[in-house]
Amino acid sequence: MNLAGPFHLAWRYVARHRVQTLLLAGALGVVLALPVAVRVLVRTAEHQLRARAESTALVAGPRGSETDLMLSALHFRKGADEALRYSVCDALRDSGLAEAIPLHLHFRAQGAPIVGTELEYFDFRHLRVAQGRMITRLGDCVVGARLAREKGLQAGGSLFSSPEQVFDIAGTYPLKMRITGVLASSGTSDDEAIFTDVKTTWLIQGLGHGHDDLVKPENAGAVLSKDKGQVVANASVRMFNEVTDANVASFHFHGDPADFPIHAMIVQPHDAKSEAILTGRYQGNKEVQIIRPKDVLDGLLGTLFRLEGLIVTALALVAGAAAAVAALVFGLSFRMRQREFATLAQIGVGRGTLLLTKGCEVLFIGVAALLIAFGLIFLLRLLADAVIISGLR
């Protein structure tokens, strides 16, 4: 039997009704892609989470949800407002059992987390500066590669921290930070964060500030009183919202930095024995908890995989229903075209040829649906890392 005739008739029909064809193929393609899309996202999330967790031996933070602490310390997701005193970080270092890297995670700028930390963090995560240079003083920051690309940030520019309340900026000081560098892409949550010294985040929090030098004669009118080295000034004193080389010496903190807040710490024990001692030492502590990110992640992934199975099963049922609906659409379409098929039969087109024509139409739409499904899956594979990293924030 010659297939050219049925093939030509079917092609002419789907080409003539291209909108209807694309709608049906698109709907089927999306339904076919969904189960695979879920699996791709789950596997990407597992890879992202596991790689980060396995490279971090221990994480310390305030008592609370272990999962929230892990996501905050490893992926900078803003959690609860509970914090630890910086002295806890000093105590871990002084124990001689581990190195500790503090993380202040409360503030954001342009929707991205501001991570207050120390230079040891960049060595720990193997981060390097691709453009510009590393932070050198108070008020400096470096930005992740993806964030810099999306927001158009570059070395030599600046950005403001976001106030927590639009009409009350007294609690969180909107600080204009100098961008000294852009980090090289690492394919992790570091690509979407802003990194600065932990003292800069304390400055944003209002624990320190800079202002005009009240000792200078030109600022004498702002002084209300002096008592044993304590100077009380009125509201006319100019407060600085940016740290520059000219005014950096005027910035100072009120209180003991050991009591200032941090939200998590990356803890790297010197050996397995030190790790066991540390986890045992803080097991009953009412304020501080130390977790193994890998252990917490295993529990989280177990729940995630169970959910994946349920979702894939539900999507398989949806795919079956979609196939049934597609069969109904084809059946109704062929019934509505009975006069067309009768005319073809009258001019000599055989019954077998008509059946092949219908089969070719179904085949064309099925192939188009598969191509759309493969295209969506391919696109998702390209964007999966970015989707997961953004979702973890």
Q: Are residues 276 and 152 located together in one domain of the fold?
A: yes
Q: Are residues 131 and 153 located together in one domain of the fold?
A: yes
Three-state secondary structure call for residue 301: helix
Q: 393 pLDDT band (50/70/90 cuts)?
A: low
Choose the most confident range, by mean pLDDT, from 22-26, 49-53, 115-119, 367-371: 115-119
pLDDT tens-place string over residues 366-386: 888 889 989 988 998 888 777
Q: 173 pLDDT band (50/70/90 cuts)?
A: low
- β-bridge mates for residue 176, sequence order: 160, 242
Q: Are residues 134 and 222 located together in one domain of the fold?
A: yes
* Share of residues in the chain with pLDDT > 90 (%): 34
Q: Are residues 363 and 235 located together in one domain of the fold?
A: no
Contact 29, 369 (CB under 8 A): yes
Contact 79, 69 (CB under 8 A): yes
pLDDT: is 205 or 324 the higher one? Answer: 205
Total count of domains within the chain? 2
Q: Are residues 305 and 289 located together in one domain of the fold?
A: no
Q: Are residues 325 and 372 located together in one domain of the fold?
A: yes
Lookup result for tokens 């929090």: 205
How, if at all, do strands 176-183 and 140-143 pair? parallel
For residue 211, what pLDDT is reported? 61
Question: Residue 183 pLDDT more than 60?
Answer: yes
* Share of residues in the chain with pLDDT > 70 (%): 85
For residue 158, what pLDDT is reported? 93
Q: Are residues 16 and 37 located together in one domain of the fold?
A: yes
Contact 377, 40 (CB under 8 A): yes
Domain range for residue 220?
A: 57-293
Q: Are residues 83 and 152 located together in one domain of the fold?
A: yes
Q: What is the mean pLDDT of the chain?
A: 82
Contact 200, 175 (CB under 8 A): yes
- CA distance linking residue 90 with residue 100, whole number of Å: 8
- 251-260 average pLDDT score: 88
Instruction: Say how many C-beta atoms besides its own lie within 10 A of residue 122's C-beta.
Output: 19
Q: What does the DSSP 8-state code read for residue 201?
A: H
- 77-95 average pLDDT score: 86
Last-in-domain residue among 263, 293, 323:
293
Q: Are residues 96 and 131 located together in one domain of the fold?
A: yes
Choose the most confident range, by mean pLDDT, from 25-29, 174-178, 213-217: 174-178
- 327-353 average pLDDT score: 73
pLDDT tens-place string over residues 4-16: 767 777 777 777 7
Q: Are residues 82 and 220 located together in one domain of the fold?
A: yes
For residue 319, what pLDDT is reported? 76
Q: Are residues 147 and 177 located together in one domain of the fold?
A: yes
Last-in-domain residue among 275, 293, 311:
293
Q: Which amino acid is at 309?
A: G
How do the residues of the chain divide into helix, strand and coil, expressed in percent and rounded to 5? 55, 20, 30
Q: Are residues 205 and 318 located together in one domain of the fold?
A: no
Read off φ and ψ for residue 272, nearest 5 degrees: -65, -35
pLDDT: is 19 or 231 the higher one? Answer: 19
Question: Residue 243 pLDDT more than 70?
Answer: yes
Of the candidate ranges 108-112, 149-153, 236-240, 389-393, the one whose mean pLDDT is the lowest: 236-240
pLDDT: is 20 or 222 the higher one? Answer: 20
Q: 349 pLDDT band (50/70/90 cuts)?
A: low
Last-in-domain residue among 268, 293, 318:
293
